[in-house]
């Protein structure tokens, strides 16, 4: 049986984008007869299995300021575990300590793929002092990554741009998918009362600096200032939670925290009139696609991959400014609501996890994608 080993840092107990991608790919790998093993950091060495493969956790420290995420630093333990697992392909979802796995794979003639979940230049933009040549630093590191891995898989054109900028020839764009059953207009409670003129907003994502969740609060404040009867539900946890609660004092904001069940997230998205996605560094935007699958249009940042995902017919992109995003919300509400919701769902139906998994497997296995089990 073909075995694919996935490696990831920042894979925690709370569902995040990387974890969602890896687990969805694993689900479809198993249906194609692929044996999937995951190596991720944890508080102690451990192992667990389910119908979609085995997860191996290596003891690793918590990264300061990350909200509890861990990073694997024990290279010898990682190498020994890879030796024991003896994979046919390696899939790395990390640009830091796990890059060493590319060298391990190359020495053994095993294909190794990088799943690029973030753009280095965008993530570091607000984290380095002014005057630091961020572009040159990102280009140098990305050139090293492109040389180290056989293939780099990016989920959007925005994500691939930093590799194309340096002339990397081994980059493939594979959009991620969405669970169209879990995220559906049917998730909206059937007996939900409606108040004419009331606006329900939602924002789903990690409450961390790079996701810019504070802008969603500012958009709500701007709409309220204009006299709009609006309310915002924030789904997610992270290091900015307490700060955002202070920022939202006297505003109609509900902080739902991390919602474990997809049904709960889908209920919030399907109930909303508009979802806000303010992150300028988004390389895909799973929450954007999940909102569209629920039939809810999205206002995204005009930087990043949000507008690639939402497309031109079921959302609007705006600069990262509260007034401009509030304008976009207002323009969306002027459109035919039922038609907008229908187009949102139709857009989401163009993305599937089966298609994403087949594309990634084809890249990793040189086009020898196993037949899908019925």
Residue with tokens 């997610």: 236
Structure tokens at 17: 């984008």
- Between 65-74, 89-98, 144-153, 258-267, the lowest mean confidence (pLDDT) is in 65-74
- SS3 category, 206: coil
CATH number of 3-177+352-364: 3.40.50.2000
Residue 175 and residue 156 in contact, taking contact as beta carbons nearer than 8 Å: yes
Q: How many CA atoms lie within 13 A of 365 on its CB side?
A: 21
When pLDDT is averaged across residues 331-347 and rounded to a whole number, the result is: 95
Report how far residue 314's alpha carbon sits from residue 295's, in angstroms, rounded to the nearest whole number. 9
CA dihedral 229, 300, 244, 65 (to 10 degrees): 170
Residue 151 forms beta bridges with which residues?
A: 113
Dist. CA 322–CA 81, nearest whole Å: 48
Domains 3-177+352-364 and 185-348 share a fold: yes
Give the pLDDT mean for 169-175. 96
> SS3 of 205, please?
coil
159 pLDDT band, cuts 50/70/90, is very high
Q: What is the pLDDT, as a whole number, of residue 367?
A: 54
Coil, helix or strand for 118? coil
Average pLDDT over residues 135-162: 94
pLDDT band of residue 335 (cuts 50, 70, 90) is very high
**pLDDT reported for residue 270:** 97
User: What tokens does 366 get?
Assistant: 């040189």
At residue 247, the pLDDT reads: 95
How is residue 59 written in tokens?
């003891």
- Bridge partners of 171, per DSSP, are 152
pLDDT at 283: 95
Contact in structure between 108 and 128 (CB atoms under 8 Å): no
pLDDT of 372 above 60? no
The sign of the torsion formed by the CA atoms of 83, 86, 89, 91 equals negative
Q: How many residues are there in the chain?
A: 374
What band does 374 get if pLDDT is binned at 50, 70 and 90?
A: very low
- Is residue 369's pLDDT more than 50? no
Q: List the domain boundaries for the chain.
A: 3-177+352-364, 185-348
Please calculate the CA angle 331-210-360 and round it to the nearest 5 degrees.
90
Q: How confident is the model at residue 125 (pLDDT cuts 50, 70, 90)?
A: confident
> Of the candidates 22, 60, 251, 283, which has an alpha carbon nearest to the alpha carbon of residue 159?
283
Instruction: Please write the tens of the pLDDT for every residue from 45-83.
Output: 999 999 889 999 999 998 876 667 899 999 999 999 999
Superfamily name and number for 185-348: Glycogen Phosphorylase B; (3.40.50.2000)
User: What are the angstrom distances between the C-alpha of 104 and each of 1, 168, 252, 283?
Assistant: 21, 21, 52, 28
Asked if the model's pLDDT at residue 119 lies above 60, the reply is yes
Give 17's pLDDT tier (boundaries 50, 70, 90): confident
* Contact (CB, 8 A) for 281 and 119: yes
Percent of the chain past pLDDT 70, that is, above it, reads 95
Q: What is the pTM of this model?
A: 0.92
pLDDT tens-digit map of 233-260: 999 998 899 999 999 999 999 999 999 8
Q: Pick from 243, 252, 266, 194: which is nearest to 219 by CA?
A: 252
Residue 129 scores a pLDDT above 60:
yes
Angle between helices 337-348 and 286-293 (to 10 degrees): 120
Task: Name the residue with higher pLDDT: 341 or 125.
Answer: 341
Are the C-beta atoms of 98 and 60 separated by less than 8 Å? Answer: no
Residue 152 or residue 63, greater confidence: 152
């Amino acid at each position: 049986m073909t075995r694919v080993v996935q490696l990831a840092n920042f894979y925690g107990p709370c569902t995040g984008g990387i974890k969602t991608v890896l687990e969805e790919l694993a689900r479809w790998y198993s249906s194609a007869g692929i044996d999937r093993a995951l190596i991720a950091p944890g508080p102690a060495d451990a192992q667990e299995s389910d119908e979609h493969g085995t997860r191996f956790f290596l003891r690793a420290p918590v990264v300061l300021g990350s909200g509890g995420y861990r990073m694997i630093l024990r290279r010898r333990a990682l190498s020994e575990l890879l030796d024991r697992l003896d994979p046919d392909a390696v899939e790395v979802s990390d640009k830091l300590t796990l890059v060493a796995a590319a060298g391990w794979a190359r020495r053994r003639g095993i294909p190794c793929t990088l799943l690029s979940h973030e753009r280095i230049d965008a993530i570091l933009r607000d984290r380095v002092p002014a005057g630091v040549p961020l572009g040159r630093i990102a280009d140098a590191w990305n050139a090293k990554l492109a040389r180290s891995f056989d293939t780099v898989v990016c989920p959007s054109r925005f994500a691939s741009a930093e590799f194309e900028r340096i002339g990397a020839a081994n980059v493939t764009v594979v959009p991620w998918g969405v669970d169209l059953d879990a995220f559906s207009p049917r998730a909206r409670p059937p007996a939900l009362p409606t108040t004419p003129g009331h606006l329900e907003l939602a924002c789903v994502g990690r409450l961390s600096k790079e996701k810019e969740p504070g802008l969603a609060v500012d958009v709500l404040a701007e709409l309220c200032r204009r006299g709009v009867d609006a309310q915002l539900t924030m789904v997610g946890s992270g290091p900015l939670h307490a700060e955002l609660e202070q920022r939202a004092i006297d505003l109609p904001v509900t902080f739902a925290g991390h919602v474990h069940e997809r049904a709960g997230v889908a209920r919030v998205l399907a109930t909303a009139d508009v979802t806000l996605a303010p992150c300028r560094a988004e390389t895909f935007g799973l929450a954007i696609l999940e909102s569209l699958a629920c039939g809810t249009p999205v206002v995204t940042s005009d930087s990043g991959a949000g507008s690639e995902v939402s497309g031109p017919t079921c959302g609007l992109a705006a600069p990262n400014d509260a007034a401009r995003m509030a304008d976009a919300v207002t323009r969306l509400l002027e459109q035919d609501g039922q038609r907008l919701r229908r187009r949102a769902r139709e857009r989401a139906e163009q993305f599937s996890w089966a298609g994403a998994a087949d594309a990634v497997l084809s890249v990793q296995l040189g086009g020898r994608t196993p037949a899908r089990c019925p």
